[in-house]
Structure 1
């Protein structure tokens, strides 16, 4: 495969740091389990149930309590082939922004690094899903030929197309995603490994000294975690970056990064795009009028309140 923009734009220092960060994430047990589910073809029942917003496949995957034989090996083989300069293609503007950021403490470098790591996780999941391993079907062919990935996957009511069982309920707009259904799987993978979809505040052109960029935001889909978009605390972002750049990452892995009642900076999902908190403007539907809709679970409690 031809060299990507990574090797054309990044200097050795920035490239090595990004490569280290992505590899640290991929080396986690959570990443292996997540990619193994994609190779398997169905999410684990326990994963499907660990959702703040109702997950419609919980009943259908009730029998899928463990990974099918061969799924972990397929994921290991796929991840072992990862090469930052050849496997993924990043947007040139994002790579330049990361290259311009001076390595070290500071929101500019930290946010650019975290964004690229999220896109790498997303992109790798998309690539693996395109291979359609469906190991589950091979294993279950003799046990129960009716319990296939296709049989479990429900068709979309509007289009009639079969949807992926790997999805974040707020990121299912495959018709407007560049990678189509594979991007839906990419978002699901980010949520499972990182703790949510990584979003950023695009409302200003930030300056580290006079107008520092806010910490990254996450949009999680976990039980007992706010359904709203939430901003990482300073200590959470530092712990994440320290892990990404660690030479012994297993000692201090904070993933998945999840919100608690201390994460008070929260935005209703429908308002986030209006507030210019997103990674790509097309990732969620823009409501027709600000304030017309409300996010479910609007109880003003310590778990799930918006910003004051």
Structure 2
């Protein structure tokens, strides 16, 4: 997958729209809190426990009810120096697809804009994590050496595998990610800021007029939100695009975008890749050959099966 900087492909109009969209997302309080946690080194207790599955570092985050001094400032400093044209690269084919699209083309423009924003959020989280601020350790190393990030994230006994405290259950394949464990953090940041990891229907090469692309999918990791991959409604996708391109985004921020019982177009996670609903083919562990999936649990509740 050949990557390049945005200025190598985009004209001024498309570049300006993308700049503004990323700026609107990064200007939200939720984005600042998310990046501040990465700079801190541990997620907040309220954030870590706001998920459907058990949390591996509960003992550590149970004490982490507020950000360490300096974490928010570090995140602000990092975000203030962000330059989309210099700090991140994107797939050439994605940039060309966005360049060839127009707002009036509808879903195809919307999906490419949302995809670039999701990749920008992910990429920024990767860069911030790689800087290893670890402010939590600076605060606690002398006070309580057993409460440092390093001490609570050492390799698990038996497996020897390291796990970042910023992780989602289905996005921990650091062995197949370009940036390893930092990509695990990137998916976590997407989930917190956007409402889930952003996925797409890759089953066809969509045409603007005759065969418009389906709306984006989200794979959320939140309590009281379905565990299944769900597709955004027309009004949800439109609200998100309006926010991304708005000149007064504080008035109508729909983030995080989450599913309700109205989002009936859903895919079981174990079938998603074979159904070609993904962003990158390698983002999750591939399931067994089609037809040999583990059967989903038989409990039918309104949350997952409305």
- Scaled to the shorter chain, the TM-score interval is over 0.9
Q: Answer yes or no: is the 8 Å Cα contact 1:14–1:99 preserved in 2.
A: yes
Partner of 1:33: 33
Q: Does 1:182 align with 2:190?
A: no
What CA distance in whole angstroms lies between the structure 1 residues aligned with 2:69 and 2:183?
Answer: 26
The offset of 1:5, in angstroms, is 2.2
> In 2 relative to 1, CA 48–108 (structure 1 residues): closer, same or farther, beyond 3 Å?
same
Structure 1 unpaired stretches of 5+: none
What CA distance in whole angstroms lies between the structure 2 residues aligned with 1:160 and 1:152?
Answer: 14
* Comparing 147-156 and 214-223, the one that deviates more: 147-156
* Comparing 267-276 and 288-297, the one that deviates more: 288-297
What CA distance in whole angstroms lies between the structure 2 residues aligned with 1:43 and 1:295?
Answer: 33
Partner of 1:228: 228
Say which SS state the counterpart of residue 67 (structure 2) adopts. coil
Partner of 1:10: 10
Partner of 1:66: 66
Normalising by structure 1, we get a TM-score of 0.95
What CA distance in whole angstroms lies between the structure 2 residues aligned with 1:171 and 1:157?
Answer: 21
The offset of 1:54, in angstroms, is 1.9
Q: Does 1:166 align with 2:163?
A: no
1:193-239 CA distances to partner (integer Å, 9 max, x unpaired)? 00000000000011122111110000000000000100000000000
The offset of 1:291, in angstroms, is 4.2
1:249-274 CA distances to partner (integer Å, 9 max, x unpaired)? 01100000000100001100010000
The offset of 1:297, in angstroms, is 5.6
> In 2 relative to 1, CA 295–195 (structure 1 residues): closer, same or farther, beyond 3 Å?
farther
Q: Does 1:106 align with 2:106?
A: yes
What CA distance in whole angstroms lies between the structure 2 residues aligned with 1:234 and 1:179?
Answer: 33
Partner of 2:288: 288
> In 2 relative to 1, CA 50–210 (structure 1 residues): closer, same or farther, beyond 3 Å?
same
Partner of 1:301: 301
The offset of 1:61, in angstroms, is 1.0
The offset of 1:73, in angstroms, is 0.2
What CA distance in whole angstroms lies between the structure 1 residues aligned with 2:215 and 2:129?
Answer: 30
What CA distance in whole angstroms lies between the structure 2 residues aligned with 1:49 and 1:180?
Answer: 24
What CA distance in whole angstroms lies between the structure 1 residues aligned with 2:218 and 2:302?
Answer: 18
Normalising by structure 2, we get a TM-score of 0.95
Q: Answer yes or no: is the 8 Å Cα contact 2:146–2:152 preserved in 1.
A: no
The offset of 1:53, in angstroms, is 2.0
The offset of 1:26, in angstroms, is 0.3
Partner of 1:273: 273
Partner of 2:198: 198
The offset of 1:160, in angstroms, is 1.1
What CA distance in whole angstroms lies between the structure 1 residues aligned with 2:276 and 2:26?
Answer: 30
1:47-106 CA distances to partner (integer Å, 9 max, x unpaired)? 010001222222321000000000000000000111111111111111001001112461
What CA distance in whole angstroms lies between the structure 2 residues aligned with 1:100 and 1:298?
Answer: 45
Pairing of 1:251-270 with structure 2 (within 5 A): 251-270=251-270
1:159-183 CA distances to partner (integer Å, 9 max, x unpaired)? 5132210011100000000110110
Say which SS state the counterpart of residue 60 (structure 1) adopts. helix
Partner of 2:19: 19
Say which SS state the counterpart of residue 86 (structure 1) adopts. helix
**RMSD of the alignment, in Å?**
1.5
Q: Answer yes or no: is the 8 Å Cα contact 2:218–2:229 preserved in 1.
A: yes
